[in-house]
Each structure stands twice: as C-alpha cells, then as structure tokens.
Structure 1
Amino acid sequence: MLNRLISSHICKGKLEMFLQPQVNVLTGKIIGIELLVRWVNHLGKSIEPHFFLPLIRNSKYKAKFSQWVLEEAFRVSEALCIEGFNGRVACNLDASEMYSGIEFFLHKLRKEYPKAGEVEIEVTEVGHLSDRKNLEAYIECFKKHGIKVALDDFGTGLNNFDAVFNYDIDKVKTDKKFLNLNVEVREAFFSSICSITEKLGLDLVVEGIETTSELIALQELGVTTVQGFYISKPIPFKDFVSSHKNSLGIINEENIANCNS
C-alpha cells in the first residue's frame, strides 16, 4: 500500500519542488537556488519533507525518487535560464539514494534539457554510504557531467571535516544549528569555517538565517552567501518567477540595504 502510494505521487506530480534562493549579502543578488521537495496533498496543502522522505528512502522507489529529483533540477534550471537567471540550481540527494544507473540518466538529462545551466548536488547523510570509493565514484560521475557537488548540513553526523578533506566537493553548507550557539562560540566557528573554505577554494553558504542581527553578525565575520526564511521561504516555481519577474537576480533589496548601512 505504502509503496503504491509513493509511486503514484511521484508519477502523478503530487510531489513538487519549492525554490529558496541563496543570496550574496554584499550585492543582494541571487547566486543560487535550492530545490526543496514538498508533498502537496488532496487539499492543496504542502507537507514538510521530514514526514515523508524517510518513507521514500526506505522503499523500493528510492532510485525512482532520485531520478525525479535530478530531472526536476535540470527542468527548473532550464526554465530559469529562459527567464534570465544564470546561477546554480541545487537539489538534495542522500548518499544512499545514488544508484548504478545514474551516469546514463545524467547523460539523458543533458540531452533532454540542453539549455539547463549549472546544476548542483547537495549531498546529505554521507555516513549512510559505507563504501567511500562508491561515493567518490558518484562524485566523479557528477563532475564528468558538469555538476557541482556541495556538502550539505555540515557539522551533523559524518558531514564534517573528514568529508571536506576526503571528497572532491565544491561547496560547504553549514547546518542552521550553529546559529544557535552562544556568541563567542558562534563567532569562532564561522570565522574558522570562512577561513578554511577560502583557503581550500570552496564556496560557503550559511543556512537558517532568520533575523537581521544574524545577517549582520555573519557578514562581519566574513560570510557572503546566506539562505533562510529571512531572505525568502521556499516557494513554488510560478510564485518565485512572478515575484522576481522584472528583476530576477535581486531579492529583498531593502533587507540587504539595512544590513550594509
């Protein structure tokens, strides 16, 4: 019953990607977008992923779900490129969701969405894939197809410095829990992670920004790219494009101006 329900919702479009921007606080420009999956129920309400993703990842439709996620990234990227956006479009994949036929599928997507821009995979739950060589091979496959790789939820589980030093990643995304540390510890952490990622040539995105004070404090510590409800909640594609139709690439100019004043 559960497997049939999951398969039906993937096939019939009941799952939907919402868009949340990643913004350069110095310029106010959107430089990347993360796709976040939502399950839209029969009442039209959006169900948060922590309610249903564990069910999918423990079902036989895990690979099918991964294909849908990847195709959505290419589809949205191409659609946004047509609208004038040239930043990265990122999607999340649990390391355990990667499968042997992924290279063939990526080749297929490149042909089907030739106008897609930069696509990025945010790898979550590195520790779920016990064979490091397998994950290395998948990352190599992504790179071969021009896809960037980010380490998501840095600081949780095995998504730590061991992963940063041992995998060929392009970006680190810090877990929002670090914003809740006391001031001294938070300053030490973000100063350090800014320095380390800069020296390693990695991009850094701080997730979970919810207040002006957090934004100002992070900018003073050297953080330049942020994501969170303070900038924008995840919203459906049509709402995202509609909200920024005339200035796709600029968001919340007033908030950024306040931060820089």
Structure 2
Amino acid sequence: MCGYPLSEISTYVQTQYDSLMHTMCGAELLIRSNKLENKLSPIEIIKEMTQEELDTLTFLLVEKSLEFSINQGVPCSINVDMNTLMNSSFIFKVMNLANRFNLSFITFEITEQHFPKYKSWSKLRESMKKLKSVGIKFSLDDFGTDHSHFLRLFYLPFDEVKISRELFNYYISHEKNELDQIIQLFLSLDYKIVVEGIETEAHMSFMKKYPEVVLQGYFFAKPAPLSTF
C-alpha cells in the first residue's frame, strides 16, 4: 500500500441539533479530500492510507475534536477504525492526553459494518474500557446498515446509538411504526440516541415526539470546513 498524504486531507464539521430547541448540541468531525480534481471519497481515502497514516490521522482528529469542544462548548465525535482502536500506542497517546485535558466531551464512533468477528470482541471490549476510564464515550454508528443485533450493545460498553440515514428513511417512507419501537427501546436502555438523515420538514415533524433525541442532517446544515467555526 502506497499511502495517502495527510496534507491532502481537510477536516469538516457536521453539526448536531437538539430536537426541541433546534440549537447546536454536538458535532461530528469528518474528512474530505482537498485536491482540486480527482477527489476521493472518505472511504476511498481510508482505503489508500497505511495503518500508520490512519492512526496518525485519527489522533490528529482527537486533538481537533477536543479543541472544537472547548471552543464551542458541545460534545464532538470522530470515526475510529477498529485496528486503530485496538492499537496500544494509540490508546497510550489518548490516555496521556487525558492527563492534561478533560476528554468527557469526546465520542469515538464505531461503524457497525466494521465489527470484527465475535472471537475478537474481548480485545475490543478491553480497549474500550481503557479509553472510557479517561472519559472517552463510544457510539455504535450506522445502526441498521448491517446485520444489527443487540449482543454488541450488551457486551460492549457503548454510550450512544446512531440510527443510520438509510434505516430512518426506510421506516419514514414506508410509514412503519417499528422506528418508534426502536427509539423507545434504546431510550429505555439509557442510550443517547442520534438520528442521521434529517432532511425535510416531515422528518422534523416525526421527531418532535422525541425531545431527548439528537438530530443530524442537511435540514440543519451540510458539512462545513472546520476553519469556518
């Protein structure tokens, strides 16, 4: 693998909103190519990167999310690759950062599609517990895009569930009430819930019944360069 230059990556922010007051209550940091042509998608960028580059990029995003949280006064999340998350060097750097800063406003998102096979969950769980001990929170990202099952939630120490745009749109467009049941179940289990894909007035109208749920989507804002905040 030849790698991908970190100098060709820019950081963007997609803000999250309180469903009752419609005020910013959080954000997610994203990566984008800053090349003028032949741009790669975030997934393609990650595939091009070496593991060392990805580990370095992820820690840079940790530092940027910390700075954003301090400046804006809201929690901030980043996506973390499974191999990075179980890398002892990365864990050490984050724990060392916790000696100087409060990391309780930082959330690491783990995408459901990237889960290892069950036999390696114990190592993942130990890594998560170490990071949670210094304040890091964990989110199960893109819930509903893979073979979703609750064993992950029960065995791994998640704090948050992000309902995917695909799952949300499916239930909304088909007028099915299972989405209500899913949200109510997660609320009863004391998970923070973020719903992605909020794009229309109809989406907002549906979510009015859930003031506890955090909303993310183009209805509020498209991702914008971090430098604009």
Q: TM-score normalised by the shorter chain: which range applies? A: 0.7 to 0.9
Find 1:24's aligned residue among 18, 23, 40. Answer: 18
Who is 2:225 aligned against?
236
Contact 1:126 1:158 in 2 (8 A): no
Contact 1:142 1:149 in 2 (8 A): no
Change (3 A) 1:26 1:75: same
Q: Secondary structure at the match of 2:158?
A: coil
Aligned pairs for 1:215-234 within 5 A: 215-220=204-209, 224-234=213-223
> How does the TM-score come out when normalised to structure 1?
0.77
Find 1:136's aligned residue among 112, 125, 137. Answer: 125
Q: Gaps (5+ residues) in structure 2?
A: none
Q: Secondary structure at the match of 2:60?
A: helix
Alignment of 1:64 with 2:53, yes or no, is yes
Who is 1:90 aligned against?
77
Deviation track 1:36-68 (CA, whole Å, cap 9, x = no partner) reads: 111211x28864313322333xxxx22431332
Contact 2:19 2:208 in 1 (8 A): yes
* Aligned-residue offset at 1:180: 2.8
Q: In 2, Cα distance between the equivalents of 1:80 and 1:139?
A: 21
Is the deviation greater in 118-127 or in 133-142?
A: 118-127
Contact 2:95 2:134 in 1 (8 A): yes
Deviation track 1:176-234 (CA, whole Å, cap 9, x = no partner) reads: 11233254865423211221111111100000111111121122366631101111111
Contact 1:121 1:149 in 2 (8 A): yes
Q: In 2, Cα distance between the equivalents of 1:221 and 1:109?
A: 35
Who is 1:48 aligned against?
41
What letter corresponds to residue 225 of structure 2 in structure 1? P
Who is 2:95 aligned against?
107
What letter corresponds to residue 50 of structure 1 in structure 2? I
Q: Gaps (5+ residues) in structure 1?
A: 242-261
Q: Secondary structure at the match of 1:52?
A: helix
Q: In 2, Cα distance between the equivalents of 1:115 and 1:45?
A: 39
Q: Which has the larger radius of gyration?
A: 1
What letter corresponds to residue 38 of structure 1 in structure 2? R
Who is 2:199 aligned against?
210
> How does the TM-score come out when normalised to structure 2?
0.86
Q: CA RMSD in A?
A: 2.5
Change (3 A) 1:62 1:129: farther
Q: In 1, Cα distance between the equivalents of 2:193 and 2:79?
A: 16
Q: In 2, Cα distance between the equivalents of 1:160 and 1:17?
A: 32
Change (3 A) 1:129 1:92: farther
Find 2:110's aligned residue among 86, 104, 123. Answer: 123
Identity of aligned residues (%): 22
Change (3 A) 1:44 1:117: farther
